[in-house]
Copies of this chain bind each other. A is one copy, B any other.
Amino acid sequence: MQPGDQKNRFTNITFINHGNLRKNGLMPLYAQLADLIRSDITKGKLKKGDLLPTEKELGQLYGVSRITVRGALGVLAYDGLIFRKKGRGTIVKQDKLTRQVPGLLGIHEEIRAAGGTPRTKLVSFAILSSPPVKAQKICGMERGEKVIKLERVVYSDNEILGLSVALIPLCIWGRIGIDPEHIKNKSLYHLLAKGGFQPFEAEETIEVIRADKENATRLDVPRGFPVFYLTRTVYTKEGIFVECGLNLYRADKYQFKMHHWRVMDPQQK
Protein backbone atom coordinates (compact mmCIF):
# COMPACT_ATOMS: atom_id res chain seq x y z
CA MET A 1 0.00 0.00 0.00
CA GLN A 2 1.21 3.46 -0.83
CA PRO A 3 0.82 6.82 0.87
CA GLY A 4 -2.06 7.92 -1.29
CA ASP A 5 -4.17 4.83 -0.70
CA GLN A 6 -6.87 4.71 1.87
CA LYS A 7 -9.75 2.66 3.09
CA ASN A 8 -13.21 3.54 4.18
CA ARG A 9 -13.71 5.53 7.29
CA PHE A 10 -15.30 3.71 10.14
CA THR A 11 -18.27 5.64 11.27
CA ASN A 12 -19.97 2.48 12.36
CA ILE A 13 -20.49 2.68 16.06
CA THR A 14 -20.24 -1.04 16.58
CA PHE A 15 -16.63 -0.92 15.59
CA ILE A 16 -15.79 1.03 18.65
CA ASN A 17 -15.97 -0.11 22.20
CA HIS A 18 -18.28 2.64 23.05
CA GLY A 19 -19.61 4.16 26.23
CA ASN A 20 -16.98 3.04 28.68
CA LEU A 21 -15.48 6.34 29.69
CA ARG A 22 -15.78 7.23 33.33
CA LYS A 23 -14.79 10.33 35.11
CA ASN A 24 -13.54 8.31 38.02
CA GLY A 25 -10.51 10.39 38.78
CA LEU A 26 -8.23 7.42 38.36
CA MET A 27 -7.37 8.06 34.76
CA PRO A 28 -7.92 11.12 32.62
CA LEU A 29 -10.59 10.73 29.98
CA TYR A 30 -8.12 11.14 27.14
CA ALA A 31 -6.02 8.30 28.45
CA GLN A 32 -9.03 6.04 28.82
CA LEU A 33 -10.14 6.85 25.29
CA ALA A 34 -6.64 6.21 23.99
CA ASP A 35 -6.69 2.77 25.59
CA LEU A 36 -10.05 1.95 24.04
CA ILE A 37 -8.94 2.90 20.56
CA ARG A 38 -5.61 1.19 21.10
CA SER A 39 -7.31 -2.06 21.91
CA ASP A 40 -9.45 -1.72 18.80
CA ILE A 41 -6.28 -1.48 16.80
CA THR A 42 -4.37 -4.25 18.50
CA LYS A 43 -7.39 -6.56 18.44
CA GLY A 44 -7.80 -5.97 14.75
CA LYS A 45 -11.11 -4.14 14.69
CA LEU A 46 -9.21 -1.31 13.14
CA LYS A 47 -6.66 -2.41 10.60
CA LYS A 48 -3.70 -0.78 9.02
CA GLY A 49 -4.68 1.87 6.54
CA ASP A 50 -8.12 2.32 8.06
CA LEU A 51 -9.39 5.80 8.62
CA LEU A 52 -10.58 6.42 12.13
CA PRO A 53 -13.83 8.25 12.72
CA THR A 54 -13.27 11.99 12.62
CA GLU A 55 -12.42 13.82 15.80
CA LYS A 56 -15.91 15.27 15.89
CA GLU A 57 -17.51 11.86 15.50
CA LEU A 58 -15.32 10.32 18.17
CA GLY A 59 -16.31 13.12 20.49
CA GLN A 60 -19.97 12.46 19.85
CA LEU A 61 -19.57 8.70 20.18
CA TYR A 62 -17.93 8.96 23.56
CA GLY A 63 -19.55 12.11 24.80
CA VAL A 64 -16.35 14.08 25.16
CA SER A 65 -15.03 17.26 23.63
CA ARG A 66 -12.73 17.46 20.67
CA ILE A 67 -9.89 18.49 22.96
CA THR A 68 -10.19 15.21 24.80
CA VAL A 69 -10.32 13.26 21.58
CA ARG A 70 -7.22 15.05 20.36
CA GLY A 71 -5.49 14.20 23.60
CA ALA A 72 -6.24 10.53 23.04
CA LEU A 73 -5.14 10.61 19.42
CA GLY A 74 -2.01 12.40 20.53
CA VAL A 75 -1.10 9.47 22.74
CA LEU A 76 -1.62 7.00 19.94
CA ALA A 77 0.31 9.10 17.45
CA TYR A 78 3.09 9.37 19.95
CA ASP A 79 3.12 5.62 20.37
CA GLY A 80 3.29 5.21 16.65
CA LEU A 81 -0.04 3.49 16.15
CA ILE A 82 -1.62 6.17 14.02
CA PHE A 83 -0.67 9.22 12.03
CA ARG A 84 -2.72 12.21 11.01
CA LYS A 85 -3.12 14.19 7.88
CA LYS A 86 -4.65 17.59 7.76
CA GLY A 87 -7.66 17.61 5.49
CA ARG A 88 -7.82 13.87 5.35
CA GLY A 89 -8.09 12.24 8.69
CA THR A 90 -6.48 9.91 11.15
CA ILE A 91 -5.07 6.71 9.78
CA VAL A 92 -3.94 3.47 11.37
CA LYS A 93 -0.33 2.77 10.60
CA GLN A 94 1.17 -0.25 9.03
CA ASP A 95 1.97 -2.65 11.80
CA LYS A 96 5.45 -3.90 11.21
CA LEU A 97 7.21 -2.04 13.97
CA THR A 98 7.42 -3.08 17.54
CA ARG A 99 6.29 0.18 18.92
CA GLN A 100 8.12 0.58 22.08
CA VAL A 101 10.15 3.33 23.54
CA PRO A 102 13.77 2.30 23.51
CA GLY A 103 13.37 2.17 27.21
CA LEU A 104 15.83 2.67 29.92
CA LEU A 105 16.14 -0.75 31.32
CA GLY A 106 18.78 -1.90 33.68
CA ILE A 107 20.58 -5.07 32.87
CA HIS A 108 18.26 -7.03 35.14
CA GLU A 109 15.24 -5.88 33.24
CA GLU A 110 16.91 -6.46 29.91
CA ILE A 111 17.69 -10.05 30.72
CA ARG A 112 14.22 -10.67 32.01
CA ALA A 113 12.73 -9.06 28.92
CA ALA A 114 14.77 -11.48 26.83
CA GLY A 115 13.34 -14.38 28.79
CA GLY A 116 16.39 -15.05 30.92
CA THR A 117 16.92 -15.10 34.65
CA PRO A 118 19.25 -12.39 35.85
CA ARG A 119 21.70 -12.82 38.67
CA THR A 120 24.34 -10.45 39.89
CA LYS A 121 27.24 -11.01 42.20
CA LEU A 122 28.81 -8.14 44.05
CA VAL A 123 32.54 -8.17 43.44
CA SER A 124 33.51 -5.02 45.23
CA PHE A 125 32.08 -2.06 46.98
CA ALA A 126 34.09 1.02 47.74
CA ILE A 127 33.93 4.70 48.43
CA LEU A 128 36.31 6.63 46.21
CA SER A 129 37.51 10.08 47.12
CA SER A 130 37.49 10.97 43.43
CA PRO A 131 35.96 9.37 40.34
CA PRO A 132 38.24 7.49 37.92
CA VAL A 133 39.54 9.65 35.09
CA LYS A 134 37.52 7.61 32.62
CA ALA A 135 34.34 8.53 34.39
CA GLN A 136 35.32 12.16 34.55
CA LYS A 137 35.61 12.16 30.78
CA ILE A 138 32.48 10.21 30.09
CA CYS A 139 30.02 11.95 32.30
CA GLY A 140 31.72 15.09 33.46
CA MET A 141 32.07 14.13 37.08
CA GLU A 142 34.15 16.55 39.08
CA ARG A 143 37.51 15.67 40.48
CA GLY A 144 37.31 15.33 44.21
CA GLU A 145 33.66 14.37 44.18
CA LYS A 146 33.14 11.35 46.39
CA VAL A 147 31.58 8.41 44.60
CA ILE A 148 30.45 4.90 45.33
CA LYS A 149 31.97 2.23 43.15
CA LEU A 150 29.93 -0.89 42.73
CA GLU A 151 31.45 -3.73 40.79
CA ARG A 152 29.26 -6.62 39.80
CA VAL A 153 29.31 -9.70 37.65
CA VAL A 154 26.16 -10.26 35.70
CA TYR A 155 24.83 -13.70 34.91
CA SER A 156 21.96 -14.72 32.73
CA ASP A 157 20.69 -18.21 33.50
CA ASN A 158 23.93 -18.87 35.33
CA GLU A 159 26.11 -18.02 32.38
CA ILE A 160 28.48 -15.11 32.62
CA LEU A 161 27.20 -12.26 30.55
CA GLY A 162 29.42 -9.42 31.59
CA LEU A 163 31.03 -7.14 34.11
CA SER A 164 29.44 -4.00 35.36
CA VAL A 165 30.91 -1.07 37.20
CA ALA A 166 28.55 1.55 38.54
CA LEU A 167 29.69 4.89 39.88
CA ILE A 168 27.18 6.77 41.95
CA PRO A 169 27.73 10.12 43.64
CA LEU A 170 27.96 9.65 47.35
CA CYS A 171 25.37 12.36 47.94
CA ILE A 172 22.85 10.33 45.94
CA TRP A 173 23.83 7.05 47.52
CA GLY A 174 23.45 8.55 50.96
CA ARG A 175 19.91 9.59 50.22
CA ILE A 176 18.75 6.20 49.07
CA GLY A 177 20.39 4.57 52.06
CA ILE A 178 21.08 1.03 51.01
CA ASP A 179 23.13 -1.60 52.68
CA PRO A 180 25.67 -2.96 50.17
CA GLU A 181 24.51 -6.42 51.18
CA HIS A 182 21.10 -5.76 49.70
CA ILE A 183 22.37 -5.04 46.21
CA LYS A 184 22.91 -8.66 45.47
CA ASN A 185 20.46 -9.76 42.77
CA LYS A 186 18.70 -6.45 42.91
CA SER A 187 18.15 -4.05 40.08
CA LEU A 188 20.17 -0.94 40.75
CA TYR A 189 17.70 1.22 38.87
CA HIS A 190 14.87 -0.14 40.90
CA LEU A 191 16.68 0.80 44.09
CA LEU A 192 17.42 4.26 42.77
CA ALA A 193 13.78 4.74 41.85
CA LYS A 194 12.63 3.69 45.30
CA GLY A 195 15.00 6.23 46.79
CA GLY A 196 13.44 9.04 44.78
CA PHE A 197 15.91 9.12 41.94
CA GLN A 198 14.08 7.37 39.17
CA PRO A 199 16.25 6.99 36.09
CA PHE A 200 14.64 8.80 33.20
CA GLU A 201 17.23 9.62 30.59
CA ALA A 202 20.49 8.10 29.60
CA GLU A 203 23.27 8.64 27.20
CA GLU A 204 25.06 5.60 26.03
CA THR A 205 27.98 4.70 23.87
CA ILE A 206 28.63 1.31 22.42
CA GLU A 207 32.04 0.25 21.32
CA VAL A 208 33.75 -3.02 20.76
CA ILE A 209 37.11 -3.76 22.28
CA ARG A 210 39.12 -6.92 22.69
CA ALA A 211 39.50 -8.51 26.07
CA ASP A 212 42.83 -8.07 27.80
CA LYS A 213 44.20 -10.79 30.03
CA GLU A 214 42.42 -9.70 33.16
CA ASN A 215 39.04 -9.20 31.59
CA ALA A 216 39.35 -12.35 29.57
CA THR A 217 39.80 -14.35 32.76
CA ARG A 218 36.88 -12.72 34.44
CA LEU A 219 34.60 -13.14 31.45
CA ASP A 220 35.76 -16.67 30.79
CA VAL A 221 36.82 -16.01 27.21
CA PRO A 222 40.13 -16.21 25.35
CA ARG A 223 42.35 -13.15 25.22
CA GLY A 224 41.45 -10.86 22.34
CA PHE A 225 37.86 -11.95 22.36
CA PRO A 226 35.55 -9.13 21.26
CA VAL A 227 33.50 -7.56 24.01
CA PHE A 228 31.05 -4.72 24.01
CA TYR A 229 32.26 -1.76 25.97
CA LEU A 230 29.23 0.14 26.98
CA THR A 231 29.24 3.38 28.88
CA ARG A 232 26.08 4.84 30.21
CA THR A 233 25.29 8.12 31.92
CA VAL A 234 21.96 8.17 33.66
CA TYR A 235 19.85 11.09 34.78
CA THR A 236 16.54 11.68 36.49
CA LYS A 237 13.66 13.56 34.96
CA GLU A 238 15.06 16.69 36.54
CA GLY A 239 18.35 16.15 34.80
CA ILE A 240 20.15 15.13 37.98
CA PHE A 241 23.07 12.84 37.32
CA VAL A 242 22.66 9.56 39.20
CA GLU A 243 24.93 6.97 37.67
CA CYS A 244 27.87 6.43 35.45
CA GLY A 245 28.01 2.86 34.24
CA LEU A 246 30.99 1.15 32.66
CA ASN A 247 30.08 -2.24 31.30
CA LEU A 248 31.78 -5.06 29.51
CA TYR A 249 29.55 -7.61 27.86
CA ARG A 250 30.59 -10.64 25.91
CA ALA A 251 29.89 -9.92 22.27
CA ASP A 252 28.75 -13.45 21.67
CA LYS A 253 26.03 -13.18 24.27
CA TYR A 254 24.69 -9.77 23.75
CA GLN A 255 23.07 -7.74 21.04
CA PHE A 256 21.18 -4.51 20.81
CA LYS A 257 17.83 -3.68 19.42
CA MET A 258 16.80 -0.14 18.91
CA HIS A 259 13.86 1.71 17.65
CA HIS A 260 14.56 5.13 16.26
CA TRP A 261 11.96 7.53 15.23
CA ARG A 262 11.34 11.11 14.57
CA VAL A 263 8.41 12.53 16.36
CA MET A 264 7.69 16.10 15.77
CA ASP A 265 4.29 17.48 16.41
CA PRO A 266 4.83 18.11 20.05
CA GLN A 267 1.40 19.56 20.50
CA GLN A 268 -1.62 17.35 21.00
CA LYS A 269 -1.80 15.26 17.91
Contact = CB atoms under 8 A, between A and B. Distances in A.
Residue with the greatest number of chain B CB neighbours at <10 A, chosen from A77, A97, A197, A266 = A266
Nearest to A102: B260
A239 B93 contact: yes
B71 A267 contact: yes
Chain A, interface residues (CB within 8 Å), range: 35 or more
Nearest to A71: B267
A159 to B, nearest CB: 17
Interface in A80-96: 80, 83, 91, 93-96
A212 B103 CA distance: 34
B262 A101 contact: yes
Interface stretch (A115-123, A143-151, A229-237): A229-237
Interface of A: 1-3, 30, 34, 48, 71, 74-75, 77-80, 83, 91, 93-98, 101-104, 139-140, 171, 175, 196-197, 200-208, 210, 226, 228, 233, 235-241, 251-252, 255-263, 266-268
